[in-house]
Amino acid sequence: MSETNPPVPLGRIAAPSLKPARFPAFRSIGALVLREMSATYGRNPGGYVWAIVEPIGSIIMLSIGFALFMRAPPLGSNFVLFFATGFLPFTLYTSVTTKVQLALRYTKPLLTYPKVVWIDAILARLGLAILTEMTVMTIVITSILMVVKEQFLIDYVPIMQGLSILVIGAAGLGMINGLIAAVFPLWPTLWGILNRPIFLASGVVFLYDSMPVEAQAIMWWNPILQAVALVRSGFYSSYHADFVSLTYCYALGMIVLAVGLLVMRKWHKIALER
Amino acid sequence: MTIARTAKPLGPATASRQEGVVRPIISAVPASAPPPRVAPLAPVTPMRPGAAPRVPPSARPARFKLRHKRLVLSFLGMVVAPVVATALYLTIFATAQYASYMAFTVRSEGHAAASAELMGGFGALLGGSPSGNDGEILQNYILSQEMVAKVSARMDLPTLFSVNETWDPVFSYHPGNGTIEAMTAYWKRMVHISHDSKSGIIELEITAFSPEAAQEIAKVVHEESTAMINNLSATAREDSLRYAAADLDRALDQVKSAREAITEFRMKHQIVDVAADVQGQYGIINGLQQQLATALVEYDLLRGSTTATDPRLPQVELRIQAIRDRIADERQKVGYSDGEGSYATIASEYERLTVEREFAEALYVAAMSQHEMALTEAKRQTRYLATHIQPTLAQSSEYPRNGFILASVLLFSFLIWSVMGLIYYAVRDRN
């Protein structure tokens, strides 16, 4: 559509200095990221730092709680590290899903500007969520490793594989959920109920390997569990997540992402009109 | 999307005026088509028949635009090309690979499972330590560099794995600089291992470019695994036996030195048994005392019946004195006074040595039984490899799994292409 612009002389005469932005996508995404950061914890003292402090606090509390009634972690000797390596990937999934799900609703007023499109809103929130979660993960795990003073043979390849599976799938799921929520406002509540057991079923506290065989047969199909196990196998060199199928995880994640993008492209107007 | 949306309100309006002319085109009005401004202009045209129509040309049939071309080109490049290339490679270049299977468990005579049984149920779910620890060790070992080195020492792995290097570069090994690291990386591609931590079964699938090679490698892997497990249990046995054996040796030394000390004592004092010797001494003293009493009685009788000048009296006195001296001497010997060779010191020395010997002997007996126990314990904890599927010989090629590879390439290239296309169009929808 940009080819319709040149015949209009007004633009060129009235504002000769106003050239079209060179990378409009990056500018609008960047602006949306900044807006998001100032909106999330903007009014509190400390600002966006709370987005990082809050999950760190919750992981400490949860691991203390679980450490009280479990004698020893199923892997390694440090409970906090065992819990962190499972809980952090899981929060990456939940946080990306919810952030992307609410992207359109939060940026609805800005989407009326022609320079801002729906994908900007999604990419901005997705990128910010990934950055935040990765920062949290780095801080938590680095400080645990420094406190524990144990040697760990960390293999980054499975960690990155697991995290990328989670991000891809969560982004697609967030888009699909966002659209369904726009049509059926009750959907987020229902989804929350359906998703309640997923924390226990994702291998955060209970390893897949120690589940009963009957449970394993069902749980195997849970890609979050496989991704979490993959991340763990990167931290614990003695833990081989043999059961993980990268093909299955990536295929499922990519399919969800493609479907999410497709339905967004087709129906994002519906979500905006409501 | 935006195309369809702007076109729709336009559709019925124009269609009603220009009967059927535009109809087939409407659904495909391109995005650059004139906006609804067409509507006010349209009624003008029929009023001036014959004149050159001043209507802007109506929407052309949807044409192939540059971006469409890009879409198709990217589809060809990102989906069709990889799939075709994969298919061609798999059918023309890829050489058949054959798999050899085997399965085994690591067993031990002991009752190691007892602790796992105790905390079954929820306890096992919460903090259950993975049983089948040896399986994990073996699994680690089979994929390790050491295993590769050991197998390489017995057979020419680089040659076996690079038979088709020129024709089939994707699936074969490139000896190149021939480092063990490269070989280990390739080894992990050809050896697939699965370990069930519940039953402890280790399943191994080894692929190679001929059925015999696969079976041969599998056999060597099996032998090396057995050797490793034997080594492991031998080390454990040595560890537990070493302390028991050292204890036994020490006890034996003590017994020996205690006995030697006693022998030396006997040689020095020329006494075999101090108690018997002392008894003998007392016998002598008793005898002397009896003689003394007899002499005294004799002396009394003599003094009563004869005069003081009787020459027999001094003789008896002399005898009494001699017996008294002897008794004193003998008593001194037994130990009623102090001195080097006194019986009391000898007896106490002897007693000390006897106690030492008895203690050493008791210790030796205890060490013996300890050693025996360690021996049985070690025997019970011996691990061994129980193979229930011996390395099989393939009759047909199972790898590369053409269908699976092709389907994955198709699926993933299509998914990547569609996601990238969707994002590209979404970003492009600006303005």
pLDDT tens column, B354-380 = 899 999 999 999 999 988 888 887 777
Query: Could you tell me which residues are beta bridge partners of residue A14?
Result: none
Under an 8 A CB cutoff, do A117 and B427 touch? yes
**The tokens of B337 are what?**
């006074």
Beta pairing, strands B98-108 & B191-195: unpaired
Q: Which residues of A touch B426 (CB under 8 A)?
A: 117-119, 261, 264-265
d(CA A213, CA A224): 18
Mean pLDDT of B43-67: 62
Alpha carbon B155 to chain centroid, angstroms: 25
pLDDT tens column, B136-168 = 788 888 888 999 998 888 888 888 888 877 788
Mean pLDDT of B218-243: 85
Is-contact B100 B218, C-beta < 8 A? yes
d(CA A1, CA B316): 160
Is-contact B287 B323, C-beta < 8 A? no
pLDDT value at position B386? 84
* B110 has a pLDDT exceeding 60: no
Mean pLDDT of B57-71: 73
pLDDT value at position A21? 66
Pick the CATH number of B249-380 from 2.60.120, 1.10.10, 1.10.287, 3.40.50: 1.10.287
Mean pLDDT of A96-119: 86
pLDDT value at position A175? 93
Closest CA to B161 of B140, B142, B184: B184
Closest CA to B192 of B101, B106, B131, B95: B101
Q: How many Cα neighbours within 13 Å face the side chain of B104?
A: 26
Mean pLDDT of chain B: 77
Higher per-residue pLDDT: A202 or A6: A202
d(CA B413, CA B411): 6
d(CA B403, CA B293): 125
Higher per-residue pLDDT: B70 or B420: B420
Q: How many Cα neighbours within 13 Å face the side chain of A180?
A: 14
d(CA B149, CA B143): 11
Query: Could you tell me which residues are beta bridge partners of residue B207?
Result: B99
Is-contact B391 B219, C-beta < 8 A? yes
Residue B3's Cβ-count burial label (10 Å; 0-12, 13-18, 19+) is middle
pLDDT tens column, B74-108 = 899 989 999 999 999 988 888 888 999 999 888 77
Is-contact B381 B235, C-beta < 8 A? no
Mean pLDDT of B342-353: 80
pLDDT band at residue B129, thresholds of 50, 70 and 90?
very low
pLDDT value at position A34? 87
pLDDT tens column, B291-344 = 999 988 988 888 888 877 888 888 888 888 998 888 888 877 776 555 556 677
Is-contact A270 A183, C-beta < 8 A? yes
In a mutagenesis test of the B interface, which of A254, A256, A263, A269 is the best target, namely the one with the most B β-carbons within 10 Å? A254
pLDDT tens column, A120-147 = 889 999 999 999 899 989 988 888 888 8
Q: Which residues of A touch B (CB under 8 A)?
A: 1-4, 24-25, 69-74, 114-115, 117-120, 206, 209-211, 213, 238, 240, 242, 247, 250-251, 254-255, 257-258, 261-262, 264-266, 269
Q: Quick one: how many helices (H) and strands (E) in chain A?
A: 11, 0
In A, minimum Cα distance to B203 occurs at: A242
* B261 has a pLDDT exceeding 50: yes
Is-contact B108 B382, C-beta < 8 A? yes
pLDDT value at position A249? 94
DSSP B200-240: -EEEEEEEESSHHHHHHHHHHHHHHHHHHHHHHHHHHHHHH
Residue carrying structure tokens 């919460």? B126
Give the H or E element holding residue B101. Answer: strand B98-108
Q: Side by side, which strands form the sheet with B201-208?
A: B191-195, B201-208, B98-108, B383-389
Q: What are the extents of the domains in chain B?
A: 1-44, 64-94+413-431, 96-239+382-412, 249-380
In B, minimum Cα distance to A119 occurs at: B426
d(CA B142, CA A231): 23
pLDDT value at position B5? 43
* Assigned fold of B96-239+382-412: Bacterial polysaccharide co-polymerase-like (3.30.1890)
d(CA B108, CA B112): 8
Is-contact B228 B404, C-beta < 8 A? no
pLDDT band at residue B45, thresholds of 50, 70 and 90?
very low
E runs forming strands in B116-268: 191-195, 201-208
Angstrom CA distances, B212 to A128, A144, A176, B395, stand at 56, 50, 52, 10
pLDDT band at residue B53, thresholds of 50, 70 and 90?
low
pLDDT value at position B50? 55
* A180 has a pLDDT exceeding 60: yes
d(CA A78, CA A170): 29
In B, minimum Cα distance to A248 occurs at: B408
pLDDT value at position A18? 63
* B55 has a pLDDT exceeding 50: yes
Closest CA to A101 of A30, A39, A13, A191: A191
* B29 has a pLDDT exceeding 50: no
Chain B nearest-CA distance from A129, in A, is: 19
pLDDT tens column, A216-253 = 888 899 999 999 999 999 998 888 888 889 999 999 99
Mean pLDDT of B202-207: 90
Is-contact A120 A29, C-beta < 8 A? yes
